[in-house]
Amino acid sequence: MSSVKFLAFADLHHYPEVFYTFAPERLAAIRQRAIDEKVDFVISLGDFGGGKPLDLLAEYAAFPMKTYHVFGNHDTDNMTLTEAIKAFDMPGKGYYFFDCNGFRFIILDNNYVNIDGSILHFELGNYFPHPNTREILPAEQVDFLKETVGASPYPCILFSHSSIERECDQTPGRPFRSAIINRQEIIDVINQANSRSPGKVRMAINGHYHRDFLRILDQVVFLDLNSASMEWVNNPHDHFDRELTAKHTYAANTVIYNEPLCAVITLDHDGTLQIDGMKGSFYKNVTREMTDNPPCDRSGRPCTANIQSVKMKMFYR
């Protein structure tokens, strides 16, 4: 087998009565696309839900192909880490790897916060008061990454909820500054592996920011994967019906995608990389620009209801 094909989605945010994401319908459409595209597996890039989304987790686990999770920051907001590991059926502590069709997929868990010198996993909202010391890849995971890439006979793809390529804005109190604080350590592992063996780490995919952005750095393709459901806006708007916002606590703090945005990604050993994205639209035509919020995030990336489609060939030499 020289190629692998998988479906990736992020930030489904199934949280009944809090968000209006009609997530069960979205997940059913994602399932159907995965079947139609005959993918080898499906992966959720985190923030699958809020509360305790046990019913939908069971639906996901029952897909007719293998399914995987990456932990997002909100996945342990209403569960302990131990409960979440069980509910999500996470191998080990939440970081792990698997091999498929001659590629290695490495799942990282960057949901850690430094509180008074202790590095703690996000749990029951403990990270909320610490916006400037959150999103860390603990040393044991940096070592795990180094060893797992180093021992791999295959090209590697990384998954994390937060971005490895976004710059980390340290300005206190800024929303969405939460790139991984020690991202440079991860980039060093990637670049050292690629300098020894070009094409060893080929791609890294993240969710979390609800943005569609593609960047190539040192021959690694970084995909900032859009949310499958919606975008958060700090300042609420009044464009939705009152009935809807009365029933859903934070609906007015969102603009919502009509489509279940997801990407089918095909990688070939010869360096070909194809992303089949989706063009979508906004619920009630309400866009972020119509709300009282800056149009772009701290990295200057706009909110669109799209995932771009791309076919490229990388030459590793």
The token pair at 268 is 């070939």
Distant-in-sequence, close-in-space partners of 171: CB < 8 Å, separation ≥ 6: 177
The smaller minimum CB distance to Fe ion, of residues 40 and 47, is found at: 47
Q: Rounded distance, CA 45 to CA 48, Å?
A: 8
Q: Does 208 bind Fe ion (CB under 5 A)?
A: yes
Residues 40, 47, 123, 231: which binds Fe ion (CB under 5 A)? 47
Pick the stretch among 89-97, 117-125, 176-184, 202-210 that binds Fe ion (CB under 5 A): 202-210
Phi and psi based region of residue 34 (left: phi greater than 0; alpha: psi -120 to 50; beta: remaining) = alpha
CB of 47 to Fe ion, least distance (A): 4
**Residues 79, 125: Cα–Cα separation, whole Å:** 9
Q: Does the footprint of Fe ion cover residue 134 (CB under 5 A)? A: no
Window of 124-132, 181-189, 208-216, 270-278 that interacts with Fe ion by CB under 5 A? 208-216
The DSSP secondary-structure symbol of 151 reads: T
* 229 is an interface residue for Fe ion by CB under 5 A: no
Residue 273 vs residues 3, 59, 88, 107, 200: alpha-carbon distances, Å: 10, 29, 29, 19, 14
Under a CB-based contact definition with an 8 Å cutoff, are residues 163 and 180 in contact?
Answer: yes
List binders of Fe ion among 64-123 (CB under 5 A).
Answer: 72-73
The count of residues interacting with Fe ion (CB under 5 A) is: 4
CB of 73 to Fe ion, least distance (A): 5
Please tell me whether residue 21 binds Fe ion under the rule CB under 5 A: no
Quote the least distance from Cβ 305 to Fe ion, whole Å. Answer: 18
Nearest-approach distance from CB 72 to Fe ion, in angstroms: 4
Which residues of this protein are in contact with Fe ion, per CB under 5 A?
A: 47, 72-73, 208
